[in-house]
Amino acid sequence: MFVLFLLCIAFLVCMSKGEFREHLIEPSTMCYKCTKYHLGICYEGMRSCTLKYHQTCAVENIYLLTGKGRSMYFYSKLSCMTNCEDINFLSFEKRTELICCKHKNYCNLPEGV
């Protein structure tokens, strides 16, 4: 019976492609995942994701530009993103603010919008 248990553990370790080792070394960071988040409500169903190698929690704040050039908050996208960098994208109709974090669990909840 013990041999069967060890065989199952070995199978799980081999199938995880090394991810099992990462979980033993470093605790996993969890992030919110939602494609349309606005004023505290996720309209697509709030889920979560676990950070993998080279990933951080990300929030993309989408703003619409008014005729006078001002930004008006529209909604946010919450996710786990690979090679994320804090940046602002500006087009003629909208502005996208990308904010990355991994300092604590669920750090990608928008604040102040």
At 62-109, the pLDDT tens digits run: 999 998 889 999 999 999 999 999 999 999 899 999 999 999 999 999
Lowest mean pLDDT among 14-18, 38-42, 43-47: 14-18
Please provide the distance, in angstroms rounded to a whole number, between the alpha carbons at the two ends of the chain: 56
Bridge partners, 89 (sequence order) = 96
Q: What is the pTM of this model?
A: 0.72
Side chain identity at residue 16, one-letter code: S
Query: How far, in Å, CA of 78 to CA of 76, rounded?
Result: 7
For the chain, the structural domain boundaries read 29-101
Q: How many CB atoms lie within 10 A of CB 96?
A: 15
